[in-house]
Structure formats: structure tokens, C-alpha cells
Amino acid sequence: MTTSTSAASAAGENVGEFSAVDSSDRSAWFIDFMDYANALPEYRAIRQGLAASLGDLDGRSVLEIGSGTGDDARELAALVGGGGRVVGTDVSAAMVEEARRRSAQGASLPVEFAVEDMRDLTFADGAFDATTAKLVRQHCDDLDAADAELLRVTRPGGRIAVFDYDFDTLTVDHPDRVRTREAVHCFCDGHRNGWNGRSLARRFQERGLAGITITPYTVRMPFAFFRRSMEGRLSEAQRSGALAWTAGQLADWWRPLDEAEDGGRFFASITGFLLAGSR
Ligand SMILES: C[S@@+](CC[C@H](N)C(=O)[O-])C[C@H]1O[C@@H](n2cnc3c(N)ncnc32)[C@H](O)[C@@H]1O
């Protein structure tokens, strides 16, 4: 029997707080969350889509913004060959430390990691042939600054490919439509930019990116992933009053989902968008 742990989720176990991993003292939880997500089959397709959108990477210099544990940066490093290099950057020192630790254990690749805030990068103008960012813009409170920096450090003619969710695309099969809409909106609004996905095309058109393509990816969410994604935010919001439910009502909302999982009937999905273009 599956038991919902929604009421018991620890402080800091909230995916909306990926903007401040270091201040939570629970970096291990965030690292574990990304490892779980990155192992989903749809995430492999997203990584492959991003890499393909960056063009021929042989000998190129590539920047990854918000590189987390560095696994994607290492995959890109295998594509740039000996003449290229990949720089993975993340605002979290804990994430950069984990990325360096994993790199030291694996095969030698032309990849390095640095603590950098996407809103204020230290690289020179046009320093990179290609720039990518996966699931990081949603955690940024100043996308104007982040977009200006992303374009500034990519050379003219260079490639840009980013992927991000739009959290109001989340679906879950639940008998209570009203409360489920409230839960989804609460989860979406727990992110700095929960609607980032739907604004990607407009934002980069306004900045003059050429040859823009937008590709949607829908991820089917296993119950374990859905629960890890939602429960921290919903519990915090219930406790703070941002979600105007009692603790009992929150537990009642989880119950049919636990039962659906036990009966092999659970269904949830979320859609994100891969934007690509030339600077
Ligand atoms: C959901 S994780 C994604 C990590 C990685 N891109 C992946 O897909 O596995 C979001 C990452 O963005 C980082 N991050 C959040 N705000 C940032 C900012 N302002 N600048 C750079 N990185 C940031 C977090 O520390 C975290 O590692």
C-alpha cells in the first residue's frame, strides 16, 4: 500500500526552491531529485534534442547555464572532441562541487565547472559558440537580465538551445477537478517563472534570435516523480496559508492518487518546450 508522505515532507524539499539550493542545507535532496528526473526516458529525448539543436559541436566552445550535477555538460563534452571545451555553470556551490566530483570520477573530458549566476555572467562577449540551459530559467527571478546575458556571451551566429517547463500544463487524473486546479496553480506559482515555457518564443523573438524553432516535449510523470515534485510545495503552501486548505483537505487530495497508484491507474504529465535558434 502506498502511503502519502505529503504532510511529513521536510522543510526545503520543494522544487520551487531550486533557485536557492545552497541556503536550504538539503542539497542532497535536490541532487537526488535531478538524478531521478534525468533517468526518465523523456529526459533522454530532451537532452538529445538540445544537443542536436546546438549543431555540429566538434571543436566548439559550449556554455551550459544551470548545469546542476554536470551530467548533461559531460554528455556535451563527449561531442566537442579534443579541440573543444564545455563550461558548466551553476549558482549553487553545492551543485558545482557535485559536478566536479562526478567529473573527477569519470572519463577525462574537456569540461570544467564554475559558480556563476545566470543573471550576471563573468564571461566575455561572444565567448561561446553555443549556449544551452535546461530547466533553469523557471527558477530565475529576472529573465530580462538572464536573457541579455545568454545572448551576450554567445557569439554572433552561434547557437542557443534552451528547455523549460510550463507548470500550468501539468495534468493529473483526479476525481476532484476544483481542488486539482487549485493544487496545479499553487505548484506552478511556487516557481519564480512557472509560465516560462509559453513565453520562450516571444521573449527570444523580441531579442532577434534567428530561425527560431519550438518543440514541445510531454513527460509522463510516474507517481514517485509526481509526488516528489508536488508534495513539498503543497505542504509548505498549506502551512503558510498560500493554499487555503486544511491539513486534512491536503491529505484527502492525495488519497485518490495513492489509491490510483496502488491500482495501477495513476496518470500525470507535464509539458515543456525546447527553443532553439541562432544569435
Ligand atoms: C532543476 S535544476 C536543473 C539542473 C540541470 N540543468 C539538469 O537539467 O539536470 C536547476 C538548476 O539551476 C540552478 N540555478 C537556479 N538559479 C540559478 C541562477 N540564477 N543562475 C544559475 N543557476 C541557477 C540550480 O542551482 C539548479 O542546479
Boundaries of every domain in the chain: 14-166+192-220+270-278
117 CA → ligand 1 middle, Å = 10
Looking from the CA of 192 toward its CB, the CA atoms found within 13 Å total 14
Taking the model in full, what pTM does it have? 0.93
**Whole-number Cα distances in Å, 47 to 40, 44, 112, 217:** 11, 5, 19, 11
Number of H helices, E strands in the chain: 9, 8
CATH architecture of 14-166+192-220+270-278: 3-Layer(aba) Sandwich (3.40)
Q: To test the ligand 1 pocket, which listed residue (42, 65, 119, 139) has its Cβ within 8 A of the most ligand atoms?
A: 139
Gap between the Cα atoms of 91 and 30, Å rounded: 14
User: H-helix or E-strand containing 196?
Assistant: helix 196-206
Q: Per-residue pLDDT for the chain (279 aa), expressed as one digit of tens each?
A: 444 444 445 556 677 677 677 766 678 888 999 999 999 999 999 999 999 999 999 999 999 999 999 999 999 999 999 899 999 999 999 999 999 999 999 778 999 999 999 999 999 999 999 999 999 999 999 999 999 999 999 999 999 999 999 999 999 999 999 999 999 999 999 999 999 999 999 999 999 999 999 999 999 999 999 999 999 999 999 999 999 999 999 999 999 999 999 999 999 999 999 999 999
| C-alpha cell, 23 | 541556503
Gap between the Cα atoms of 277 and 204, Å rounded: 9
How many angstroms from the chain centroid is the CA of residue 244? 27
Beta-bridge partners for 171: 269
How many angstroms from the chain centroid is the CA of residue 255? 28
